[in-house]
Structure 1
Amino acid sequence: MSRVRCERCLRPENHCLCALIPQLDSRTRVLLLQHPSEVNHALNTARFAALGLANAELRVGEVFEDLPRLLERPGYQAKLLFPADDAQPLQAYTAAPGDLPLLLVVPDGTWRKARKLLYLNPLLAALPRVTLGEGAVSRYRLRKAPEAGALSTVEAIVQALETLEAPASFAALLRPFEALIEGQIRAMGEETFLRNHEKNRPAVPGD
């Protein structure tokens, strides 16, 4: 028999993380487009981000027929957080009259699934792209990053918002993410974790 799940965070009820999810305001609007394969993933960080931000929306699917409506937000400029040769690094908002806040569109899935979302939604692929600054290190200690600077979805959103809306802090969004990781470490045992994960962890300045 399957375990009863919290209807909000989708975690098993005895491991519900809702108490750790903040409710933060942001000038930026975040639109998360989640591939269906991520919905039941143990580390569904896109959902944590959507629940923790008042100005965010999470949509699940492969083809988003209402994408034109989702992108038409008066007072915002839509940009896709996804790498490309012509992607522009995110920068803090200025006080200039024409500097509109972003509608930051964030695909959620493996790199392969995220690219599929772009392929199936040409309007999404046509958006101007932005990227994060270099040097980010993921806190997801249970998985080796596929490449330097690779982050979970919620980590990427936190870094993006803290860049755009400096000096505001959005670190509270990471609380359920970090609690989930700590719970997984406790479940496997500290000794097993240290033996199988920490020995392969690269040195980070300031550790």
Structure 2
Amino acid sequence: MKRSTCDICHFSIKTCVCSYVVSPKLNNKTRIIVLQHPSEVSVTKNTVRLLTLQLTSVEVYVGEKPSDFTVAQQIAKTHHCGLLYPDQNAIAVESMVSNSQTIDTLFVLDGTWKKANKIAMLNPWLNHLKKITFSALPENKYAIRKAEQSYSLSTLEACAYFLECYEKLSAEPLHHLLTGMIHEQTKFMPEDVKKRYFHEDD
């Protein structure tokens, strides 16, 4: 039997996050383009779905190969774009100024580090985009999904931090929504299972 899902947030009815969405949506001026690995689409803990609920300007394209991202490639050719990706020549977002029109569109790769890196390797057109990184990484609050790297952030947290730095936009609604999703995903867990995700002093 297929589980019932919310028509709005598309989470299970039992873990619906609609009550945590802040209205109105955050009006981000920088267009967020998410290139999502196919394996992430069905992951209930994936945070891209939360971005689409809380941001006014976000688009998601699913795939791996260049042929999966034909629309995204056209966007990259016609806008001032950046790619959120670690690189020795990347620009730290903390030093960027939005009113100088450094970029108007941010590409973000969504997947495990291995899967995101695969998308980057299979899509050489991404190499032409300005690389953007973080010089002061915020604390990862996404405890319910194990990070492959100590410096990893969820896609929501990465976008939230970018918008805080680049647009001086308060990302509190995004963090509130993430906290709500974590609560809903863990509320039925036995206490001993919860302790695997959260430290007692959190």
TM-score range, shorter chain: 0.7 to 0.9
Contact 2:31 2:58 in 1 (8 A): yes
CA distance in 2, matches of 1:124, 1:135: 23
CA distance in 2, matches of 1:94, 1:59: 25
Q: Deviations over 1:55-90 (max 9, x none)?
A: 2111112231223322244xx410100111111111
Partner residue, 1:193: 194
Q: Deviations over 1:153-182 (max 9, x none)?
A: 00000001000012x201201223211212
More helix by share: 2
Give 1:100 shift: 4.2
CA distance in 2, matches of 1:189, 1:143: 17
The answer to whether residue 57 in structure 2 is matched with residue 61 in structure 1 is no
Give the alignment partner of residue 93 of structure 1, picking from 90, 97, 117: 97
Partner residue, 2:136: 134
CA distance in 2, matches of 1:143, 1:13: 21
Q: Which runs of 5+ in 1 are unaligned?
A: none
Q: Secondary structure at the match of 1:69?
A: helix
Q: Which amino acid aligns with 2:60?
A: L
TM (norm. structure 1) is 0.83
Q: Which amino acid aligns with 1:88?
A: I
Q: Which amino acid aligns with 1:182?
A: H
Decide whether aligned partners of structure 1 residues 12 and 159 sit closer, same or farther in structure 2, where only a CA change above 3 A counts.
same
Q: Secondary structure at the match of 1:33?
A: strand
Decide whether aligned partners of structure 1 residues 135 and 79 sit closer, same or farther in structure 2, where only a CA change above 3 A counts.
closer
CA-based RMSD: 2.3
Give 1:149 shift: 2.6
Give 1:36 shift: 0.9
TM (norm. structure 2) is 0.85
Give 1:191 shift: 4.7
Matches for 1:72-151 after TM superposition, within 5 Å: 72-73=77-78, 76-90=79-93, 91-93=95-97, 95-96=99-100, 99-151=101-153
Contact 1:93 1:101 in 2 (8 A): no
Contact 2:84 2:133 in 1 (8 A): yes
CA distance in 1, matches of 2:80, 2:142: 31
CA distance in 2, matches of 1:192, 1:42: 18
Partner residue, 1:176: 177
Q: Which has the higher contact order (CA 8 A, sep 6+)?
A: 2
Q: Deviations over 1:129-172 (max 9, x none)?
A: 10123242111123443333311000000001000012x20120
Q: Deviations over 1:85-138 (max 9, x none)?
A: 111111342544xx3443110010011111111222221233221012324211
Give 1:21 shift: 2.5
CA distance in 2, matches of 1:44, 1:144: 12
CA distance in 1, matches of 2:147, 2:114: 15
Decide whether aligned partners of structure 1 residues 25 and 182 sit closer, same or farther in structure 2, where only a CA change above 3 A counts.
same
Q: Secondary structure at the match of 1:115?
A: helix
